Amino acid sequence: MEYQSILPIFTLDNDFHMKKESILVIGACGQIGSELLPELRRAHGAFRVVAADRLPPHNGPLKAGPYEQLDFLDCRALGAIIDRYDINQVYHLAAMLSVTGEKNPQQAWDLNMQSLLNVLDLAREKKLARVFWPSSIAVFGAHPPNHGCPQDTPHDPGTGYGISKTAGEHWCRYYHAKYGLDTRSLRYPGLISHRTLPGGGTTDYAVDIFHQAVTAKRYTCFLRPDTLLPMMYMPDAIRATVELMQAPLASLSARGSYNLAAMSFTPAELTTAIRRHLPDFQIDYAPDFRQSIANSWPGDIDDEAARQDWNWCHDYEIAATTRDMILHLSPNHKLAFNPSPLTDRIR
Ligand SMILES: NC(=O)c1ccc[n+]([C@@H]2O[C@H](COP(=O)([O-])OP(=O)(O)OC[C@H]3O[C@@H](n4cnc5c(N)ncnc54)[C@H](O)[C@@H]3O)[C@@H](O)[C@H]2O)c1
């Protein structure tokens, strides 16, 4: 299928300064990387954006520009790629996520920390202009406020993954304060996408449920029906990432990571939204170990700092997300109930 952009606002014509960047995306085959990469290539030119992952390239957009198979723990190989392509910006997306990480917290810590430190050190040594590294709502844990979880609140991460994200935020802040490295970060909520499958996170149900709804019309959810979690549709997440990286340095106040929000919902609320289009959809609940991870995360997030500092504004709420997911996963399906198509798109 031909790639269609989700970001009409960034073009080669209207954003001339972006053409001069030379960018490396580490973890390009993942859920976020495989959607961010085509946007960056469209904005900067395919040969100015190098994709890297430990996997071989498996789809057209990945092969549309330079691709390097790389283990991010191999610091020398990473440094050689930065030199060869004269890289000046890195998006370091590769990580072990929360559910996979809970099966081996020590390994999650080793991989997530060492890879970040490799990138930060190389960025400092080679005087890169900017580094993007994603954090997560997993940093908060059970004690910060569950509703309106603030930008600045003590972290209390309940998973090895969350501990590595909290430490990573501190390292980003440290490299900025000590070496002047321009590190930028977002605490992504659970991300929902129809283009890629999720990579082993606690919010994966919110993607799996759509695949099952359009095929089997039945889904068994690993979280309880009333589990409220912050979520975001992938086009918003990609746009937030690009907009943060374009924001003027002086406007940024959060040097660890920015809270980022769009919508919060429970599995029961998502089921209701899906049934507006697929009335026969059935759901069962069989909570497993992921319930305790979800319980340690906030229900909704206060992202006022992002909205103030770099004018963040999300587009998609639950109804527009649901409709778009079902349309894309089952293109021949005639939407059963569609009173006003994108009523909850904000813009
Ligand atoms: N997806 C979400 O809902 C979400 C939410 C919050 C934060 N995040 C963060 O965003 C980032 C990207 O998440 P994602 O969902 O795209 O992850 P993902 O698991 O889908 O993709 C990660 C990619 O990294 C690659 N990778 C893993 N180990 C590697 C290694 N040793 N060397 C090179 N490549 C390696 C994998 O092959 C994979 O393609 C992560 O830091 C994650 O913590 C994601």
Q: In this predicted model, what pLDDT tens digit does every residue of 275-287 receive, in sequence order?
A: 999 999 999 999 9
What amino acid positions are annotated as catalytic residues?
Answer: 161
- Residue to mutate (ligand 1; options 32, 71, 244; most atoms within 8 A of CB): 32
Q: What DSSP line would sit under 3-43, residue for residue?
A: ---S-TT--TTT-GGGGG--EEEETTTSTTHHHHHHHHHHH
What's the 289 CA to ligand 1 centre distance in angstroms? Answer: 21
- Count of domains for the chain: 1
Atom number of ligand 1 nearest to Cα 100:
19
Of the ranges 2-11, 114-123, 154-163, the best mean pLDDT one: 114-123
Q: In this predicted model, what pLDDT tens digit does every residue of 124-139 receive, in sequence order?
A: 999 999 999 999 999 9
What's the 294 CA to ligand 1 centre distance in angstroms? Answer: 19
Residue 233 lies in a domain: no
What is the CATH number for 155? Answer: 3.40.50.720
Global confidence as pTM: 0.91
Select the more confidently predicted residue: 285 or 56. 285
What's the rounded Cα separation, in Å, for the pair 212 and 218? 6
Residue 40 lies in a domain: yes
What's the rounded Cα separation, in Å, for the pair 312 and 255? 16
Q: In this predicted model, what pLDDT tens digit does every residue of 209-237 receive, in sequence order?
A: 999 999 999 999 999 999 999 999 999 99
pLDDT value at residue 61: 76
DSSP alpha helices (H): ranges in the chain? 33-44, 60-63, 75-84, 98-103, 105-125, 160-179, 205-215, 234-246, 267-275, 290-295, 304-310, 318-329
Please give the structure tokens belonging to residue 197: 């499958």
Residue 178 lies in a domain: yes
Atom number of ligand 1 nearest to Cα 188:
6
Please give the structure tokens belonging to residue 328: 């894309």
CA 329 to chain centre: 20
Residue 63 lies in a domain: yes
Number of neighbours of residue 268 by Cβ within 10 angstroms: 15
- Position 332 confidence tier, pLDDT thresholds 50, 70, 90: low
- Position 59 confidence tier, pLDDT thresholds 50, 70, 90: confident
Nearest CA to 267 out of 281, 253, 283 is that of 283
Per-residue pLDDT at 244 exceeds 60: yes
What's the rounded Cα separation, in Å, for the pair 306 and 167? 21
Range of the domain at 107: 17-188
Residue 109 lies in a domain: yes
What's the 124 CA to ligand 1 centre distance in angstroms? Answer: 23
CB 179 within 8 A of CB 121: no
Lowest mean pLDDT among 128-132, 174-178, 332-336: 332-336
Residue 55 lies in a domain: yes
In angstroms, what CA-CA distances link 191 with 199, 249, 260?
11, 26, 11
List residues near ligand 1 (CB under 6 A): 27, 29-33, 53-55, 70-73, 93-95, 97, 134, 136, 188, 190-191, 198-199, 201, 203
Nearest C-alpha to atom 14 of ligand 1 is from which residue? 31
Per-residue pLDDT at 4 exceeds 90: no
- Residue to mutate (ligand 1; options 29, 93, 238; most atoms within 8 A of CB): 93
Atom number of ligand 1 nearest to Cα 190:
3
pLDDT value at residue 81: 98
What's the rounded Cα separation, in Å, for the pair 209 and 329? 11
What's the rounded Cα separation, in Å, for the pair 136 and 169? 10
Residue 58 lies in a domain: yes
Residue 270 lies in a domain: no
CA 318 to chain centre: 17
Q: In this predicted model, what pLDDT tens digit does every residue of 291-328 receive, in sequence order?
A: 999 998 999 999 999 999 999 999 999 999 999 999 99
Tell me, what DSSP letter sits at residue 83? H
What's the 282 CA to ligand 1 centre distance in angstroms? Answer: 31
Q: What is the mean pLDDT of residues 252-267?
A: 97
What's the rounded Cα separation, in Å, for the pair 134 and 194? 21
What's the rounded Cα separation, in Å, for the pair 212 and 220? 9
- Residue to mutate (ligand 1; options 24, 25, 26, 31; most atoms within 8 A of CB): 31
Provide the 3-class DSSP secondary structure of residue 51. Answer: strand
Number of neighbours of residue 117 by Cβ within 10 angstroms: 15
Per-residue pLDDT at 336 exceeds 70: no
What's the 271 CA to ligand 1 centre distance in angstroms? Answer: 27
- Position 337 confidence tier, pLDDT thresholds 50, 70, 90: very low
